[in-house]
Structure 1
Amino acid sequence: MSFIGEAVLSVSVELLIKKLASKGLELFTRHEKLKADFIKWKGMLEMIQAVLADAEDRQTNDKSVKTWLDDLQNLAYDVEDLLDEFETETLRRELLHQEPAAAYQPSTSTSKFRKFIPTCCTNFSPRSVQFESKMVSKMEEVTARLQDIERQKGLLKLKNVISDGKSRNFRQRLPSTSLVNEAEVYGRQKEKEEIVELLLRDDLRADDRFSVISIIGMGGVGKTTLAQLVYKHDRVRRRFEIKA
């Protein structure tokens, strides 16, 4: 396995920290256990991030540090996938409160009724309660892995070099993930167009039901970038008037 660079792993950890403070998770902070875990994860990831530069320097001569970095990278992928599940569920609940475009509106009474359904009602629906219960279980497993990573950090005596000039300057150069330069995205044109076609299919709105299209893949392959490209597609913008 190739050596893990500080830049690659630091980006992964930095993005996870930002996601844990994003609006996409606000809906679930009403759940005390989930809220506590989000806060705990953010704190642990920030402490881990502080020693990445030292770990990167030592991994060449210390196999234990190299193994620690490998474990951290695998965990980062799993955390990203789990947070994506939360964001997808947030989008699903938001869609339940959006009025359909006029061309697809089944009835005025139905859409008016939907406007007056409080968000809390969907948060406590059987499906929502089941989702949150499932996620609590998944988060407990991830929390245990994070705690083990943090414990090993201490055993390996990794140093906090967060104030190092290289690390500080690197963090300042991190781009915002909400901005995607399409000119720098390669090999996703076919997938982008396929998802756009799915979103614009009339039969997906049959019986006034909402559908969710999942983008599945290993962490780091560009799932979020692909979703952003679809979200900003001209045809999608023209069709859907209300977007989160």
Structure 2
Amino acid sequence: MEAITSGIMGELATRSLSFLIDRYLKPAPSEVGIKQLQWMLLRVRLTIEEAEGRCITSQAMLHQLNILRRVVYKGYYMLDSLILRIPEEEISGEKEHGVSHFLSLSISRAAKRFCFRTGCKYGTESLEKMLESLEITIAGMSEFLIVLRNYPPPMFRQPYSTYMFIEKCMFGRQLEMERVINFLLHEEPPVHYDFGVLPIVGPGKVGKTTLVEHAQFDERVRSHFSHVIFLSDNDFREV
């Protein structure tokens, strides 16, 4: 009699725990949803890194950039929680087993699943909401990227190894040369007949002539002007 009573109580306890798990706990997110979350976060992150490398002066653009950062932070927080707390076998096999999988569990197995699943606050519904939020964010990034192209890309001082794979590279003067080129390519109003003059001054033997030579050999300058004349101080002395 005691054995029958113990068996009945054990079966009731197992069914009760399984019912609570099915009734109150959230379904585990699928592996496809998690991978989709990873790729969407990576796409937004690339846009943020591209924007952070440019000198943005528009307050509206900066505000939108902050919104992108907050969305990415929330998404990666959810992604870390899902990856750390959801085992691989639950991600791949839970949808196939369904409710019958829980009914066949023992009391200890059901208790373990109960403790584990309650520790994760993100389920399928939360993941779908995050994916929907990212889709809206990505759809709104098109105008952001169009405006972002109007801001100049960052200029970095190249390392010495640049000489090994780029011809006519001037070490440590990329920023200065870009300023000279921008001055040469600047369109003057047609009503003005004055020529712009860009003084390049400094001590001797610091690379002023080399800077001008590299600027006038640039393809953008060559294609902008029909003729380019380079005169050194020796040419003036001969005259």
TM range (shorter): 0.3 to 0.5
Between structure 1 and structure 2, the one with the greater Rg is 2
TM-score of the pair, normalised by structure 1? 0.34
